[in-house]
């Protein structure tokens, strides 16, 4: 039985593989590297979902929002494009180039649009630009049948499909893209989802999440975050983690470290033994956002403009290792996924549960990509 | 009148082979059921006044006594039940409102027992509470204020006043007067040791118990008994009692004979006068009036204490809770229709209000739908009988629970539902000195501590099974529940799926 | 030393301690068999009425008058400080009964010798039966300075 995430209240847990590559100096890494990395963890996925997020891949359109859209039908595409025209200035549009291979079947129509919000519409909405984009995307995804915007950040893009991740990478011809950061995901769902939108990464604006785990706090997190205008349609962990990220970073303006102290908060017994002002700060964060504590196993890679963060659940119930070589940082579920692309790592370590690993572009590289963070 | 004679509902049965004639039963029964008949040279029992409190059964050293439900019967009638006939006879004889005590005993559905809890298998691991920290610490209070930062961008960690609980269980309101000094002392000392709170109820706070202030919730009810500035500042929180699950919509009445010595002093009313709590607060005829009282109390306590508003679970509880969440209150306490009482009109206790499970589910969802769940914490009571009820309440969306009947059972209560008579053989719901001293607070405290420790231990086991190691990740986590034998409408209100879905 | 103390504040006057004592010292394994139809001769006795009551038994005085006054050497303090009676030596003169300020020594059921509380060290109870059987923790067995 083919299921669609979230349909009829279906919740599909999944085990997974994740991998990430980051160049702090902004060196543009070819997409083939991330395919090579994720492919050695073949056994951690089961062919029912794979995907990638690349950052710095659209330097020529770095000031536009890059929408990647799945359409089930041409009619859906027409409806969606009419909607886009009413709300955005579409600077460029094209099919996303693919390579037809036997491993990837039943693809939807896959289109890409580089857009600017229509100034008049934006002003009339009284929203800030990002909120405007988010609301438009949510509207398309929830109200327009057969349309699904699966990537909408600037100078970044998500590529995902039903299949093994290495096949998905070849399908999307990722060797034709270069970026300073790549994340990848191979999925092992405990069900048979057939919908491409359900594959990962899951993205919102320039935040993208790949995640391995099944969080036991799911419904507590979901019911809380839905108070703040988010709608969890897919009922997947990754979706809710993405919304939590967006809420804490963009709306509550927390730093990445503060966000980590919310979702993987230290134990009270640990906080009690800390010195001030750290103690009060952590108590405050944990208490204020108590419903956003994520429990159960997870390892996540959060991609964002100019950086990447890795985080494990506080008990470290999922494997995750970090390796470094010069300005390059590699993070993956298994060490082999780093060794295959960089056999001579300078350092390799396993971050503790709840300890965020945050990497960012050097300042000059940040200016180069035009990041606004 | 002879026609009013009713055969005892329960009979004390003595096994003559086991009775050694120690007369402990005789000395311990305040209802004078047992006596030694020197002519017959043996113990005899007259069950007419037996309330089935089990005191004699527990104290009999040879276990020679038991209480049985009488098999005496009227002609069977599914409509005119024995109870219906008996009540008519009683009222025809007395012309009085029927009084009873403790919670609604009728056969309404118990939704706690129609919900099942989840556990992890394969796709995520259960967590072993013996190996990993398992956190039950809970903070109650508003969590909605915006984050403030100092000039360097550091968070200023100031919040509205919060209550810190080591485990999400508190002892709910029982007034000094409705229960004894020793019962209050047991609750106060146990709360202190457990790192939780107990609640004074509406009878004020005895001066001996000011020392337990950090573990005390002081209540302000419609009678305003014992309310003064020191009292308001004595506890960790102030509770405005708008209603009580056992008797929504009506007030209270502590008869003058219970207003003795210290109780009169604590309540600040003359000895021997009836203590009457009006049905409404006469300064609260609408929600905006409640807001004024909330802020009056905050003013009086310098904004250092969270204010709780306690309401009975009634039909439109969700809308009422929404109003309260916007009233400035920090915590809403909801009391279900099975909540206990020291005395209530039986008809009201048995027929007014709704189950706490449904009230909680709809209040939590309503507050979320309106985006104001963070304005308040939600505490529920009204028959939380076990650790599983606690787990289910929290998964439905409660921050913590209030227990009172369970606490009284730990102290010796056997739910004879005769508190209003004031002759409690267990020294709980009485002010008779010889009876009050039957509850040794050292013993009472230990039993309360044991109970809450045991429940907490079980809560941790269940959390671990679900793969959850912190209570906040269980709060409102309704996917952890499944209904069994419930209609679609019931599932919809509870916001849970059916087992197998 | 650990002694039995009675908190009159919590004594309910239920007299159960007397029956537990009589049973513990009966040498029998069943309370009904031991006590039914018999007049009991407990070593602890409840004084007072329903309002104020307290159980009394041997205080195991460190400077015990009963030991000093015993004419046959039957009463002594053992190494733990427990005042014990050797009934083989007791001649039944009852001097100790007269000298005890607490009334905690009494004749045995057949009046041939005296009996007193020996903290259930001399029977099968293993711990003071009155303490174990007190429903309100009025009788405690503890060290006090």
SS (H, E, C) C80-139: CCCEEECCCCCCCCCHHHHHCCCCCEEECCCCCCEEECCCCCCCCCCCCHHHHHCCCCCE
Evaluate whether B431 touches B409 at the Cβ level (below 8 Å).
Answer: no
Evaluate whether A303 touches A185 at the Cβ level (below 8 Å).
Answer: no
In chain B, the residue whose alpha carbon lies closest to the alpha carbon of C139 is B440
d(CA B157, CA B162): 13
For the annotated catalytic residues of A, the residue numbers are 16
What is the residue range of A308's domain?
Answer: 16-57+155-206+301-368
Residue A188 covered by a domain: yes
The CATH number for C62-116, chosen from 1.10.620.20, 3.40.50.720, 3.30.70.20, 3.40.50.150, is: 3.30.70.20
CA distance A81 to chain B (A): 32
Extract the tokens encoding B254: 């502590």
The CATH number for A50's domain is: 3.60.20.10
d(CA A355, CA B475): 24
C-beta atoms of B470 and A315 within 8 A: no
DSSP, residue by residue, B18-67: T-----HHHHH-TT--EEEETTTTEEEE-GGG-----HHHHH-TT--EEE
Burial class (CB in 10 A: 0-12, 13-18, 19+), B158: exposed
B2-96: CATH topology: Alpha-Beta Plaits (3.30.70)
C-beta atoms of B133 and A267 within 8 A: yes
**Predicted pLDDT at A232:** 86
Q: How many domains does chain A have?
A: 1
In chain C, the residue whose alpha carbon lies closest to the alpha carbon of B20 is C36
**Predicted pLDDT at A287:** 96
Strand partners, A15: A188
C-beta atoms of C12 and B28 within 8 A: yes
Please give the angle made by the CA atoms of B177, B178 and B180, to the nearest 5 degrees: 65
Phi-psi region of A48 (alpha: psi -120 to 50; beta: other; left: phi over 0): alpha
Residue A195 covered by a domain: yes
In chain B, the residue whose alpha carbon lies closest to the alpha carbon of A15 is B123
Closest CA to C82 of C56, C61, C103: C61
Residue A162 covered by a domain: yes
**Residue of A217, A237, A280, A285 to mutate, interface with B, max B Cβ within 10 Å:** A217
C1-57+125-145: CATH topology: Alpha-Beta Plaits (3.30.70)
- Which partners does chain C have (≥3 C-beta pairs < 8 Å)? B
C-beta atoms of B475 and A284 within 8 A: no
Q: pLDDT truncated to tens, each residue of chain A (373 aa)?
A: 455 666 666 666 666 899 999 999 999 999 999 999 999 998 888 888 899 999 999 999 999 999 999 999 999 999 999 999 999 999 999 999 999 999 998 899 999 999 999 999 999 999 999 999 999 999 999 899 999 999 999 999 999 999 999 999 999 999 999 999 999 999 887 665 667 888 889 999 999 999 988 889 999 999 999 999 888 888 888 889 999 999 999 999 999 999 999 999 999 999 999 999 999 999 999 999 999 999 988 999 999 999 999 999 998 888 999 999 999 999 999 999 999 999 999 999 999 999 999 999 999 888 877 655 4
Closest CA to A20 of A118, A196, A221, A165: A165
Query: Measured between beta carbons, which residues in chain A are less than 8 angstroms from residue B497?
Result: 9
Question: Which one-letter DSSP state was computed for residue A36?
Answer: H
Q: Which of A11, A253, A293 sits opposite B470 (nearest CB)?
A: A293
C-alpha dihedral (B273, B278, B279, B283), degrees to nearest 10: -170
CA distances from B418 to A5, A131, A232, B29, B301 (A): 56, 61, 51, 14, 38
> In B230-291, at which residue ranges do the beta strands (DSSP E only) sit?
237-241, 252-254, 275-277
DSSP helix/strand/coil, B431: coil
Please give the angle made by the CA atoms of B290, B296 and B300, to the nearest 5 degrees: 150
**Predicted pLDDT at B104:** 94
Residue range B123-138, pLDDT digits in tens = 888 999 999 899 999 9
Strand partners, B10: B69
Question: Which one-letter DSSP state was computed for residue C54?
Answer: E
Residues with pLDDT less than 70, chain B? 1
What percentage of chain B carries pLDDT values higher than 70? 100
Residue A291 covered by a domain: no
CA distances from A11 to A84, A145, A189, A190 (A): 30, 21, 10, 10
Whether C62-116 and C1-57+125-145 are alike in CATH topology: the answer is yes
d(CA B58, CA B10): 16
d(CA A178, CA B447): 68
d(CA B219, CA B8): 39
Residue A113 covered by a domain: no
Query: Measured between beta carbons, which residues in chain A are less than 8 angstroms from residue B470?
Result: 265, 293, 295
Residue A312 covered by a domain: yes
In chain A, the residue whose alpha carbon lies closest to the alpha carbon of B156 is A281
CA distances from B214 to A146, A330, B157, B301, B453 (A): 58, 51, 21, 14, 20
d(CA A48, CA A295): 25
Q: Which residue has the tokens 């050497």?
A: C73
Query: Measured between beta carbons, which residues in chain B are less than 8 angstroms from residue A298?
Result: none
C-beta atoms of B22 and C51 within 8 A: no
Instruction: Parse chain B into domains and list their residue ranges.
Output: 2-96, 138-147+155-498
CATH architecture for residues B138-147+155-498:
Alpha-Beta Barrel (3.20)
* pTM of full prediction above 0.90: yes
Q: Which of B28, B62, B443 sits opposite C14 (nearest CB)?
A: B28
C-beta atoms of B58 and C135 within 8 A: yes
**Predicted pLDDT at B439:** 97
Strand partners, A181: A22, A55
CA distance A94 to chain B (A): 40
Q: Which long-range contacts (CB under 8 A, 24 or more apart) does B72-79 make?
A: B72/B7, B72/B8
């Amino acid at each position: 039985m083919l299921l669609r995430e979230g349909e009829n209240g279906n919740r599909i847990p999944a085990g997974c593989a994740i991998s990430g590559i980051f160049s702090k100096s902004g060196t543009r890494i070819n997409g083939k590297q991330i395919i090579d990395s994720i492919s050695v963890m073949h056994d951690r996925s089961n062919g029912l979902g794979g995907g990638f997020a690349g950052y710095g891949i659209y330097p020529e359109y770095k000031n536009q929002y890059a929408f990647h859209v799945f359409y089930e039908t041409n009619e859906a595409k027409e409806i969606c494009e009419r909607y886009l025209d009413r709300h955005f200035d579409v600077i460029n549009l094209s099919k996303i180039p693919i390579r037809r291979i036997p491993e990837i079947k039943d693809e939807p129509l896959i289109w890409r649009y580089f857009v600017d919000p229509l100034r008049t519409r934006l002003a009339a909405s009284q929203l800030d630009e990002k909120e405007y984009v988010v609301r438009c995307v949510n509207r398309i995804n929830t109200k327009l049948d057969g349309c699904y915007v699966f990537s909408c950040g600037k100078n970044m893009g998500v590529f995902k499909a039903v299949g093994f991740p290495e096949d998905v990478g070849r399908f999307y011809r990722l060797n034709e893209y270069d970026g300073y950061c790549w994340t990848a995901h191979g999925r092992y769902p405990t069900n048979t989802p057939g919908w491409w939108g359900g594959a990962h990464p899951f993205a919102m604006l320039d935040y993208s999440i790949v995640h391995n785990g099944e969080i036991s706090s799911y419904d507590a997190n979901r019911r809380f975050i839905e108070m703040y205008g988010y709608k969890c349609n897919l009922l997947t962990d990754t979706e809710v983690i993405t919304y939590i990220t967006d809420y804490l970073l963009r709306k509550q303006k927390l730093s990445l470290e503060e966000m980590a102290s919310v979702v993987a908060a230290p134990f009270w017994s640990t906080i009690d033994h800390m010195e001030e002002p750290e103690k009060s700060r952590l108590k405050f964060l944990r208490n204020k956002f108590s419903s956003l504590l994520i429990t159960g196993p997870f390892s996540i890679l959060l991609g964002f403009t100019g950086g990447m963060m890795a985080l494990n659940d506080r008990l470290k119930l999922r494997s995750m290792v970090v390796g470094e070589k010069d300005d390059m940082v590699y993070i993956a579920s298994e060490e082999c996924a780093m060794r295959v692309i960089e056999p001579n790592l300078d350092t390799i370590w396993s971050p503790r549960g709840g300890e965020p690993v945050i990497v960012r572009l050097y300042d000059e590289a940040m200016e180069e990509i035009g990041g606004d963070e | 009148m002879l026609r009013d004679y009713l055969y005892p509902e329960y009979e004390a049965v003595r096994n003559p082979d086991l009775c050694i004639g120690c007369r402990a039963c005789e000395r311990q029964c305040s209802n004078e059921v047992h006596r030694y008949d020197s002519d017959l040279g043996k113990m005899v029992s007259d069950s007419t006044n037996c309330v089935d409190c089990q005191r004699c059964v527990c104290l009999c050293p040879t276990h020679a006594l038991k209480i049985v439900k009488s098999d005496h019967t009227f002609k069977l009638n599914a409509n005119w039940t024995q109870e219906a006939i008996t009540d008519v006879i009683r009222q025809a004889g007395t012309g009085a409102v029927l009084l009873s005590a403790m919670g609604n005993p009728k056969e309404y559905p118990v939704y706690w027992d129609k919900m099942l809890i989840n556990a992890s298998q394969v796709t995520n691991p259960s967590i072993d509470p013996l190996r990993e920290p398992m956190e039950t610490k809970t903070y109650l209070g508003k969590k909605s204020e915006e984050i403030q930062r100092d000039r360097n961008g550091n968070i200023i960690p100031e919040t509205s006043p919060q209550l810190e609980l080591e485990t999400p269980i508190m002892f709910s309101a029982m007034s000094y007067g409705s229960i004894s000094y020793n019962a209050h002392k047991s609750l106060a000392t146990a709360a202190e040791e457990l790192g939780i709170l107990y609640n004074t109820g509406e009878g004020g706070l005895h001066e001996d118990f000011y020392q337990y202030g950090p573990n005390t919730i002081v209540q302000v009810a419609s009678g305003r008994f014992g309310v003064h500035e020191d009292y308001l500042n004595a506890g960790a929180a102030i509770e405005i009692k708008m209603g009580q699950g056992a008797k929504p919509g009506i007030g209270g009445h502590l008869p003058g004979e219970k207003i003795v010595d210290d109780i009169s002093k604590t309540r600040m009313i003359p000895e021997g006068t009836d203590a009457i709590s009006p049905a409404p607060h006469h300064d609260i005829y609408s929600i905006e009036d409640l807001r004024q009282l909330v802020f009056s109390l905050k003013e009086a306590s310098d904004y250092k204490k969270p204010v709780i508003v306690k309401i009975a679970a009634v039909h439109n509880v969700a809308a009422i809770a929404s109003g309260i969440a916007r009233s400035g209150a920090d915590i809403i306490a909801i009391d279900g229709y099975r909540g206990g009482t020291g005395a209530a009109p039986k008809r009201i206790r048995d027929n007014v209000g709704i189950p706490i499970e449904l009230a909680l589910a709809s209040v939590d969802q309503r507050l979320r739908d309106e985006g104001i769940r963070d304005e308040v914490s939600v505490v529920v009571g009204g028959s939380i009988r076990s650790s599983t009820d606690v787990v289910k309440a929290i998964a439905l969306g409660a921050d913590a629970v209030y227990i009172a009947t369970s606490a009284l059972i730990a102290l010796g209560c056997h739910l004879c539902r005769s508190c209003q008579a004031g002759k409690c053989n267990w020294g709980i719901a009485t002010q008779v000195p010889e009876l009050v001293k039957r509850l040794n607070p050292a013993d009472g405290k230990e039993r309360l501590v044991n109970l809450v420790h045991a429940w907490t231990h079980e809560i941790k086991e269940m959390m671990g099974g679900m793969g959850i190691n912190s209570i906040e990740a269980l709060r409102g986590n309704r996917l952890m529940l499944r209904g069994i034998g419930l209609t679609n409408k019931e599932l919809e209100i509870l916001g849970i799926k059916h087992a197998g879905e | 030393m650990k002694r039995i103390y009675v908190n009159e504040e919590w004594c309910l006057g239920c007299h159960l301690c007397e029956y537990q004592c009589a049973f513990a010292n009966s040498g029998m394994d069943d309370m009904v068999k031991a006590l039914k139809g018999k007049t009991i001769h407990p070593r602890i006795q409840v004084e007072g009425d329903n309002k104020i009551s307290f159980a009394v038994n041997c205080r195991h005085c460190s400077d015990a008058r009963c030991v000093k006054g015993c004419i046959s050497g039957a009463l002594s303090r053992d190494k733990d400080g427990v005042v014990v009676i050797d009934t083989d030596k007791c001649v039944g003169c009852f001097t100790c009964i007269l000298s005890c300020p607490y009334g905690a020594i009494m004749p045995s059921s057949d009046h041939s010798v005296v009996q007193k509380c020996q903290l259930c060290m001399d029977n099968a109870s293993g711990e003071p039966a009155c303490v174990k059987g007190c429903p309100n923790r009025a009788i405690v067995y503890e060290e006090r300075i």
